[in-house]
Structure 1
Amino acid sequence: MVQHRLNAARHQQETLPSFAPVTNRHRARGPLYAAIDLGTHNCRLLVARAGESGLRVIDSFSRAVRLGEGLHHSGKLAEAAMERTITALRACVARMGLYELHSHRAIATEACRRAANGMDFIARVMHETGLNISVISAREEAELALAACNSLLHGHGGTTGRGLLFDIGGGSTEIAWARIDRNARRHDLSGYVSLPVGIMTLGERYGSNIFTDAGYHTAVEEIGSVLRGFDDVHCITREIARGNVMLLGTSGTVTTLASLAQGQGRYERAGIDGSSLSIPQALDIIGNLRRGGMAGLVRNPVIGPDRARYLLPGCAIFEAIATTWPMANVTVADRGLRDGLLLRMIGDRRQHGGLAPLPFSLSLHHHMEHRVST
């Protein structure tokens, strides 16, 4: 069904928004792939092909749909949120129709996992847009986040080590603990924890209290207590003391903090992805943001009114991570599940098509998993 809609989109390009020139597809030197990540807060599309050292991005799209708005209180996806999301997904289908795609995949995460009507919404999306969206597990989220950050994991340090990755989402936060073998260009997932708190769920739970000292510190302590339990299982603090751990962060929260640390007048991805953010500096920035309140967040050109409501909840999650596992720096990744999906699709084609493999392994092993409920 989606292929029919993609074909129709190619014949109706004059009615589509000018997202990208149709001629882009003729410039690609290899098969094109598309990945859609439908999160609790954002709907994102990425179109890319394999490059020499990773992905060659052809087109991208992102819209804040707030699919999980009200979910914490009602347990269901709201009608207005579903309508906003379907509108964004239609735009994704139209945009995908500009390209001759080898394959595509669409996934949904915490909001659809948690909502009582989540699967009904997925069926509705299929009926109205033709997109077959898979609701993935928290474990696969951790895997895809690691896969997306593969080049960063293997670009630093000695031949072996550990990677601690966090992904602060809209509805949940994933923490992945990985063993890195840089000689073999692979990593193994030793364990993960999925916290049912993200920028939207924490923001809705605390409301305006997140702007108070008491509310903010309560949120940090609540999250930290869960992280300490994960630390007890995996002895992460011990590995940090040995200088054996690389901390990676991927989310709008950490990329925003990195942008502010660099003094960017407006967000510029090129200077952020793969950069190193001083954690003491980041915590100082958070302190300044908290003192400025909502008015200060809205006025900040890197943040703006659309994101101001959810930045402090993200900062509370970041601070809980940074104080549970004190390290000097975090490597910042402006990449996410879409990148991991694309790399996986490209890797599968190479494996089954008899082509040269990717210059790294996406094979992940699952030794231990944690799911935290509230």
Structure 2
Amino acid sequence: MALATSRPLFAAIDVGTNAARLEMARLGPGGLERVLKEREAIRPGEGVFARGTMSSEAVDRLVDTLRRYAVLCRRHKARVRAVATSALREARNQTKVLRRVLEETGLELEVVSGEEEARLICLGVLHRTPPRERSLLVDIGGGSTEIVLATGERPQGLWSLPLGAVRLSQHFDTAGEVTPAQLRRMREDVDARLRESLPGFVPRLPRVALGSSGSIRAVVEFAAREGGEASASPAQLTRAVEALARMSPRERREHFEERRADIIVAGALLLERVVQHLGVERVLAVKRGLRDGVLADLLSREELAARPGTAPLLRRAAGARGA
């Protein structure tokens, strides 16, 4: 793939619980244009929520992947921001992992807080949203769930909960067959945590929540498979949870890739309970999220660093387009 250009390249690296991802983009007439996208399902958070530390095998996989990503970024002279979320936030060996990543790849991997993660998701999903429009975002990761209430592009409320599809799956052992008693215990546990962590809730919430993670997209597509839409109602989500719980692991793999299938029951139940708690009518799956926010943040930093008297990059691009 030819990436040569006089315009700067921006690179977002995201180390989550399930995978490490790289996206590169450059500024084009219509905004940021993706030029490269990679994902490695290396499970960086494997064992973290059970043992409290990242295993040596997971660290090896992470370093190998980030070394390759760093080579790509240097080759194309990209401005890079590399972030890690809940798995590394909670790993007791976080300092050792970050030091090894820096020494062996040259990347400064930044462990972001749950609030910063939510802010970046908001920035990524709501770019160019009308300034008075209210939005409600939900992002379910492997180890945490972020909820953002925003007006325009600006977050008004940020909540990060230590609830994720991998964490919940490991705690309740949902990779195999799931009994009705397990489902009941999971719902009770998640409901109690939501009541503790979220307000009761904010009045005048949007009727539709935007779901920005891969887990949410997979669950919504399954729940709405009869209608072929990218949105699902609370009732559809409940039916999806019940259907997925009744399936054997082999049957789930007929609908989802293997690593997603292992955590899909927990992810679906978590989305169901969050939507019920928020009282919204539907959840709409969107394709933008954390990495889009990192890229937008890099662009914003580039604009702020521009010399006095020089038009910001977005304004220059718009001027060139209208010329």
TM-score range, shorter chain: 0.7 to 0.9
> What is the match of residue 268 of structure 1?
none
Structure 1, unaligned runs of 5 or more: 1-20, 265-270, 360-374
**Residue of structure 1 equivalent to 2:212:** 250
1:123 aligned to which of 99, 118, 121? 99
Structure 2 residues without counterparts, runs of 5 or longer: 316-323
Q: Report the equivalent of 1:352.
A: 305
The alignment's C-alpha RMSD in Å is 2.5
Tell me the distance in 1 between the aligned counterparts of 2:134 and 2:56.
43
The TM-score, its normalising length taken from structure 1, stands at 0.76
Residue identity matched to 1:211: V
Map of 1:280 onto structure 2: 235
How far apart are 1:117 and its partner, in Å? 0.4
How much does 1:54 deviate? 3.8
SS at match of 1:163: strand
Aligned counterparts of 1:84 and 1:96: Cα–Cα separation in 2? 19
Q: TM-score, normalised by structure 2?
A: 0.87
- Cα displacement (A) at 1:356: 3.5
Report the count of equivalent residues: 310
TM-superposed CA distance for 1:257, in Å, is 2.4
**How far off is 1:76 after superposition?**
0.9
Q: Are the aligned partners of 1:347 and 1:358 in contact in 2 as well (CA < 8 Å)?
A: no
Work out the CA distance in 1 between the residues paired with 2:31 and 2:248.
40
Q: Quick one: which of 162, 183, 187 aligns to 2:134?
A: 162
Q: Distance in 2 between the 1:172 and 1:161 partners?
A: 26
| CA deviation after TM superposition for structure 1 residue 230, in Å | 4.5
Q: Is residue 2:33 matched to residue 1:68?
A: no
Question: Would you say the 8 A contact 1:258–1:277 is kept in 2?
Answer: yes
CA change 1:231–1:80 in 2 (3 A) is closer
Q: State the Cα distance separating 1:357 from its structure 2 match.
A: 6.5
Q: Which residue of the partner structure matches residue 275 of structure 2?
A: 322
Q: Which residues in structure 2 correspond to 1:1-374 (within 5 Å)?
A: 21=1, 24-26=2-4, 28=5, 30-101=7-78, 103-151=79-127, 154=129, 160-178=132-150, 180-181=151-152, 186-187=153-154, 189-208=155-174, 211-232=178-199, 235-236=201-202, 238-240=203-205, 244-261=206-223, 263=225, 275-300=230-255, 303-353=256-306, 354-356=310-312, 358=314
Q: Percent of pairs identical after alignment?
A: 30
Matched residue SS, 1:232: coil
Tell me, what secondary structure is at the counterpart of 2:43?
coil
Deviation at 1:175, TM superposition (A): 1.5
For residues 102-152 of structure 1, give each alpha carbon's deviation from its aligned partner in whole angstroms, at most 9, with x where no partner exists.
Answer: x11111111111111011101011111111111111110010000010148
1:39-93 CA-partner distances (Å, limit 9, x unpaired): 1211010000124444210001111111111112211111111111112112212
Q: What one-letter code is carried by the residue in structure 1 that aligns with 2:199?
A: D
Partner of 1:239, secondary structure, is coil
